[in-house]
């Protein structure tokens, strides 16, 4: 399988495998997904090419449109119900052959970068493979509630598939506030669901974590896990030091301006070593910080409905006026004017 060496979209991107799951969910809700997906440039041929990526903001807009089309605000749960290990690519295939269910979930999430990238950070498993955490692009609104729902539901469905059990969780935590769907969510997850939590997470039952998956195969698990590791290494080794710095900057910008010392510490190298390596690549920390903000700002303005004030905070600017000044320097216009022009162009193309 070929891997794409380029750096991903600034806010994040994912394989069209996930869009394929959404397409099946729309069909399951009694609607034809083809016209909607074609409006977003996703033909059947595109959906059958796992290497193709779609930006997370575009995926969010597609999901919001799909929810309007189906009239189901819990479409993310339907997506989870219809997800399969293979929809996570090689990571899913490797994970289902793991020796325990807990290790299967850890494997699925460890190799998530093979099919998705989120600027807020990678998902992770903690507490001895008992708790899986997921970062979502914020702030929350009608465009990204379903992303959280679909990811947590897909993880849960994966656990049900590999374990053969329906009751696999102790509890579910969701960052965004309740939308009045508690009963539906608790019925689907078959456990308590707490909205307005500190993070998005599912917690496995201990007996489920220690179960042997139905598809467990130690030999194949070793082979497939090694293949995933090689693919992961290929992705990361094609990144320059500047790429790695920009990737780390994105999730740290919210309400703050990360320093060279903070980034070098996360990279495990001395600040002067990092600066030297960046100089050798013809760039510097301040330039990369500005580039990262510029790229993220463009995505937020064009692809989300996030307010100007919220964007300023998400990019670590002291106030909206400072963001306006930076945008004017980057693009020669105001953020509001740019967004208005972009939305007008999108409406003409039939994409709202």
Q: How confident is the model at residue 286 (pLDDT cuts 50, 70, 90)?
A: very high
pLDDT value at position 351?
Answer: 60
Query: Residue 197 CA to chain centroid, in angstroms?
Result: 19
Mean pLDDT on 125-141: 89
What's residue 4's pLDDT?
Answer: 40
Once rounded to an integer, what is the mean pLDDT over residues 14-31?
96
Q: What is the pLDDT of residue 11?
A: 76
Q: How confident is the model at residue 85, as a pLDDT?
A: 96
Q: What is the pLDDT of residues 215-253, one digit of tens each?
A: 999 999 999 999 999 988 887 777 889 988 988 888 788
pLDDT (average), residues 163-188? 97
What span, in angstroms and rounded, lies between the C-alpha atoms of 347 and 39?
Answer: 11
Q: Where are the domains of the chain?
A: 76-235, 239-348
Dihedral over Cα of 14, 15, 20, 25: its sign: negative
pLDDT band of residue 8 (cuts 50, 70, 90) is low
β pairing state of 116-118 and 193-195: unpaired
Cβ count within 10 A of residue 239: 15
**3-state DSSP call for residue 262?**
helix
Task: State the pTM of this model.
Answer: 0.82
Strand order in the sheet with 200-204: 124-126, 131-134, 200-204, 169-174, 193-195
CA distance 299 to 291: 13
180-194 as b/e: b if 16+ CB within 10 A? ebeeebeebbebebe
The packing angle between helices 335-348 and 285-303, to 10°, is 50
Indicate the SS3 state at residue 314: helix
Residue 5 reports pLDDT greater than 50:
no
The 10s digit of each residue's pLDDT in 199-209 is 999 999 999 99
Average pLDDT over residues 105-132: 91
Residue 83 confidence (pLDDT): 97
Q: How far apart (Å, rounded) are the C-alpha atoms in residues 199 and 211?
A: 26
* % of the chain with per-residue pLDDT over 70: 96
For the ranges 86-100, 118-132, 250-264, 291-305, the one whose mean pLDDT is highest: 86-100
Distance CA 99, CA 203 (A): 19
Q: What local confidence, expressed as pLDDT, does residue 350 receive?
A: 66
Mean pLDDT (whole number) for 304-330? 91
CATH topology of domain 239-348: Arc Repressor Mutant, subunit A (1.10.10)
Asked whether the predicted pLDDT for residue 17 surpasses 60, the reply is yes
What distance in Å separates the CA atoms of residue 102 and residue 288, rounded to the nearest whole number? 38
What is the chain's length? 352
What is the spatial distance between Cα 110 and Cα 116, in angstroms, rounded to a whole number?
11
The whole-chain average pLDDT of the chain stands at: 91
Q: What percent of the chain has pLDDT over 90?
A: 68
Q: What is the H or E stretch that residue 15 is in?
A: strand 12-15
pLDDT confidence band for 1 (50 / 70 / 90) = very low
């Amino acid at each position: 399988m070929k891997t794409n060496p380029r750096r991903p979209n600034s806010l994040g991107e994912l394989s069209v495998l996930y869009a394929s799951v959404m397409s099946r969910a729309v069909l399951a809700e009694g609607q034809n997904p083809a016209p909607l997906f074609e409006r977003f440039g996703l033909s059947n041929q595109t959906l059958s090419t796992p290497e193709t990526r779609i930006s997370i903001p575009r995926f969010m807009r597609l999901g919001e449109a799909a929810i309007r089309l189906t009239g189901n605000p819990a479409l993310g749960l339907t997506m989870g119900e219809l997800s399969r290990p293979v929809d996570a690519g090689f990571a899913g295939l490797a994970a289902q052959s793991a020796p325990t269910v807990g290790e299967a979930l850890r494997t699925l999430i460890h190799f998530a970068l093979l099919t998705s990238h989120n600027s807020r950070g990678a998902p992770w498993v903690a507490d001895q493979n008992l708790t899986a955490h997921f970062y979502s692009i914020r702030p929350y609104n009608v465009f990204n509630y379903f992303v959280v729902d679909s990811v947590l539901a897909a993880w849960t469905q994966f656990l049900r598939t590999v374990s053969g059990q329906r009751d696999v969780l102790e509890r579910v935590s969701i960052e965004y506030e309740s939308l009045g769907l508690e009963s539906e969510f608790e019925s689907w997850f078959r456990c308590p669901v707490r909205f307005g939590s500190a993070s998005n997470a599912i917690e496995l039952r201990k007996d489920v974590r220690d179960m042997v998956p139905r598809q467990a195969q130690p030999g194949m698990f070793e082979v497939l896990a090694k293949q995933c590791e090689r693919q992961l290494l290929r992705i990361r080794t094609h990144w320059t030091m500047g790429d790695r710095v920009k990737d780390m900057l994105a999730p740290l910008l919210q309400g703050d301006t990360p320093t060279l010392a903070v980034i070098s510490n996360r990279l495990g190298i001395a600040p002067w070593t990092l600066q030297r390596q960046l100089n050798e690549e013809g760039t510097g920390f301040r330039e990369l910080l500005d580039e990262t903000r510029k790229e993220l700002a463009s995505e937020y303005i064009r692809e989300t409905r996030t307010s100007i004030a919220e964007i300023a905070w998400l990019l670590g600017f002291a106030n909206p006026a400072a963001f306006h000044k930076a945008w004017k320097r980057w693009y020669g216009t105001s953020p509001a004017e740019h967004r208005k022009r972009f939305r007008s162009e999108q409406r003409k193309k039939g994409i709202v």
